Structure 1
Amino acid sequence: MSQQTTGRPGWFEAHLPILGWGRRYQTSWLSRDMVAGLTLWGLVVPEGMAYAGIAGLPPEAGLYTAMGGLIAYAVFGSSRQLVVVGTSATAALLAGTVVALKPEDAETYAAYAAALVLLVGVLFVLAGLAKLGFIAQFLSRPVMEGFVLGLAIFVAVGQLNKLFGVEKGEGNVPRKLWHVVTQLDEANWWSFAVGIAALAALFILPRISKALPGGLVVLAGGILLSAVLDLSGNHGVEVVGTLPSGLPSPGIPQVDAGVLWTLVPAAIGILLVSYSEALGVAGSLANKHGYDIDPNQELLALGAANLSSGSLGGLVAGGSMSSSAVNDGAKARSQVSGLSAAIFVVLTILFLTPIFKDLPEAVLAALIIHAVSHLMRVTSLVKVRRLAPAEFWMGILAFAGVLLIDVLEGLVIAMLASLLLVIYRSSRSSVTALGRLPGSEDLYTAMVRNPDAVPLDGVLIIRTDEPVYYANAVSNRDAVRDLVRSTVPPVTTVVFDPQTQHDLDFTTLEILTELLDWLEGRNIEVHLVATHSDLVAIAKRAGLIHLGGRVHVAPTLTDVIAQLKRNPPAETSAADS
Structure 2
Amino acid sequence: MPDFKRYLPILTWGRDYNKTALSNDLMAAVIVTIMLIPQSLAYALLAGMPPEAGLYASIVPIMLYAVFGTSRALAVGPVAVISLMTAAALSNIVEQGTMGYAVAALSLAALSGIILLAMGLLKLGFVANFLSHPVIAGFITASGIIIAASQLKHILGIDAHGHNLLDLVVSLVKHLPEINWITTVIGVAATAFLFWVRKGLKPMLEGFKLNATLVGVAVKAGPVAVVVVTTLAVWLFGLSNQGVKIVGEVPQSLPPFTLPSFSPALIGQLLVPAILISLIGFVESISVAQTLAAKKRQRIDPDQELIGLGAANIGASLTGGFPVTGGFSRSVVNFDAGAETPAAGAFTAIGLAIAALALTPLIFFLPKATLAATIIVAVLSLVDFSILKRAWGYSKADFAAVSATILLTLAFGVEAGVSAGVGLSILLHLYKTSKPHIAEVGQVPGTEHYRNILRHDVITNPSVVSLRVDESLYFANARYLEDKIHERVAGDTEIRHVILQCTAINEIDLSALESLEMINERLKEMDVKLHLSEVKGPVMDRLKQEHFLHEMTGSVFLSQFEAAQALKP
**Which of 433, 454, 466 is matched with 2:471 structurally?**
466
Q: Which letter does structure 2 place at the counterpart of 1:474? A: R
Match of 2:513?
509
Secondary structure at 1:551's aligned position in 2? coil
Match of 2:208?
none
Distance in 2, Cα, partners of 1:168 & 1:333: 44
**More divergent stretch after superposition (258-267 vs 471-480):** 258-267
Secondary structure at 1:167's aligned position in 2? coil
Secondary structure at 1:527's aligned position in 2? strand
Q: 1:19-48: per-residue Cα shift (whole Å, max 9, x none)?
A: 221210120232222121110011111111
TM-score by length of 1: 0.92
**More divergent stretch after superposition (199-208 vs 501-510):** 501-510
For structure 2, which runs of at least 5 residues remain unmatched after alignment?
203-214
Match of 2:228?
220
Q: Which letter does structure 2 place at the counterpart of 1:436? A: Q
How far does residue 562 in structure 1 lie from its aligned partner after superposition? 2.4
**More divergent stretch after superposition (265-274 vs 423-432):** 423-432
Distance 1:88 1:493, change over 3 A: same
How far does residue 542 in structure 1 lie from its aligned partner after superposition? 4.2
Match of 1:572?
none
TM-score by length of 2: 0.93
Compute the RMSD of aligned alpha carbons: 1.9
Q: 1:547-567: per-residue Cα shift (whole Å, max 9, x none)?
A: 3x73223333232222212xx
How far does residue 426 in structure 1 lie from its aligned partner after superposition? 2.2
**Which of 337, 350, 353 is matched with 1:343 structurally?**
350
Q: 1:322-381: per-residue Cα shift (whole Å, max 9, x none)?
A: 011111111122222212111110011111111110000111111111111111111123
Match of 1:319?
326
Q: Is the 8 A contact 1:509 1:542 kept in 2?
A: no
How far does residue 102 in structure 1 lie from its aligned partner after superposition? 4.1
Distance in 2, Cα, partners of 1:181 & 1:245: 38
Q: Is the 8 A contact 2:86 2:323 kept in 1?
A: yes
Q: Which letter does structure 2 place at the counterpart of 1:497? A: Q
Identity %: 32
Secondary structure at 1:97's aligned position in 2? helix
1:446 aligns with 2:438: no
Secondary structure at 1:66's aligned position in 2? coil
1:155 aligns with 2:155: no
Match of 1:130?
122
- 1:140-219 correspondence runs (5 A): 140-170=132-162, 172-206=164-198, 207-209=200-202, 211=216, 212=218, 213-219=221-227
How far does residue 238 in structure 1 lie from its aligned partner after superposition? 0.6
Q: Which letter does structure 2 place at the counterpart of 1:554? A: F
**More divergent stretch after superposition (503-512 vs 134-143):** 503-512
Distance in 1, Cα, partners of 2:4 & 2:193: 47
**Which of 387, 392, 399 is matched with 1:385 structurally?**
392
Q: Which letter does structure 1 place at the counterpart of 2:67? A: V
Distance 1:419 1:97, change over 3 A: same
**Which of 257, 260, 274 is matched with 2:267 structurally?**
260
Match of 1:5?
none
Secondary structure at 2:535's aligned position in 1? coil
Secondary structure at 2:59's aligned position in 1? helix
Q: Is the 8 A contact 1:190 1:237 kept in 2?
A: yes
For structure 1, which runs of at least 5 residues remain unmatched after alignment?
1-8, 569-577
Q: 1:405-440: per-residue Cα shift (whole Å, max 9, x none)?
A: 122111111111111112112211342211111222
Match of 1:65?
57
Distance 1:455 1:171, change over 3 A: same
Distance in 1, Cα, partners of 2:189 & 2:279: 36
Match of 2:430?
423
1:363 aligns with 2:370: yes
Q: Which letter does structure 2 place at the counterpart of 1:424? A: Y
Match of 1:556?
559
Q: Which letter does structure 1 place at the counterpart of 2:531? A: H
Q: Is the 8 A contact 1:69 1:308 kept in 2?
A: yes
**More divergent stretch after superposition (95-104 vs 305-314):** 95-104
Q: Is the 8 A contact 1:89 1:151 kept in 2?
A: yes
Q: Is the 8 A contact 1:240 1:361 kept in 2?
A: yes
Distance in 2, Cα, partners of 1:553 & 1:104: 67
- 1:79-98 correspondence runs (5 A): 79-98=71-90
Number of residues paired by the alignment? 553
